[in-house]
Amino acid sequence: MLWDRHDLDRYERWLSSKEGTYALHCEFNLLTWLTAAWPRRGRTLLEIGCGPGVFLEFFHQAGFDVTGLDKSPVMAMAAGHRMGERAEVGVGDAHALPYETHHFDYAALLTVLDFVDDPATALKEAARVAKYGVLVGYLNRFSLHALCVKKDSLSNQGRQGKWFSPWTMRRLARQALGRSPIREGSVLPGPQWSWREGFPLWRLGRMVLPVQVGAYCAFAADLTSEPVVTPIPAFAR
């Protein structure tokens, strides 16, 4: 599936909306929590399916040396324009990454497995090129948000994606990553109309909750047995 200019425009309109801005901040909070124990300085991170570079910029600001890759030339160009000299952005397929084994310290797949033909292969490829850890974000099929949208969008193989349940994602992670220890959580427990500042209990949306609860779920898998040391800035954050 190749995303085109229309998809890019639609995504950017969503990000500029109140709901999109709020959701993005909640997702940032979750990813910050999941990666708090990962060293940053001098560590490389590949974002697979980087889109227009919104999360690529987030990882760069968090302290990683980032590289982006997307199958869509339109998205890769947008990410390159956003990041400038701060990141190298290329075009490539998640099923066959154009990098050597352990080329990066970390790899991220954020709402990418939802759209690829073979999620297990894409996840295995991410684990192949990453030496220390893999970060995965996905949409929860059984969240309150999912129950409030059209049913056909949950099974649509088009732009809406596949949508995973946390249990399905755990099985996929075990299949692709073996028994690598994972940390997981979710955000955005309410329906989309509640995703805005000032809504009653809006702070709850930003809290890291059990993975079964929120619309946006993520997990971080540690691929080595080396002890992880949490940097002091992470404690401060």
Buried b (16+ CB within 10 A) or exposed e, 71-102: bbebbbbbbbebbeeebebeebbbeebebeee
**The predicted structure's pLDDT at residue 195:** 82
Q: Find the domain containing 50 and state its range.
A: 5-236
pLDDT higher than threshold 70 for residue 202: no
Burial class (CB in 10 A: 0-12, 13-18, 19+), 51: buried
Residues 6+ apart with CB under 8 A from 161: 111, 114, 115, 139
Q: What is the pLDDT of residues 171-195, one digit of tens each?
A: 999 999 998 999 999 999 988 878 8
**Dist CA 113 CA 123 (whole Å):** 8
Q: What is the pLDDT of residues 119-167, one digit of tens each?
A: 999 999 999 999 999 999 999 998 878 777 754 443 333 345 788 999 9
**The predicted structure's pLDDT at residue 151:** 46
pLDDT higher than threshold 80 for residue 102: yes
Domain count, the chain: 1
Q: Could you tell me the CATH number of the domain that includes residue 120?
A: 3.40.50.150
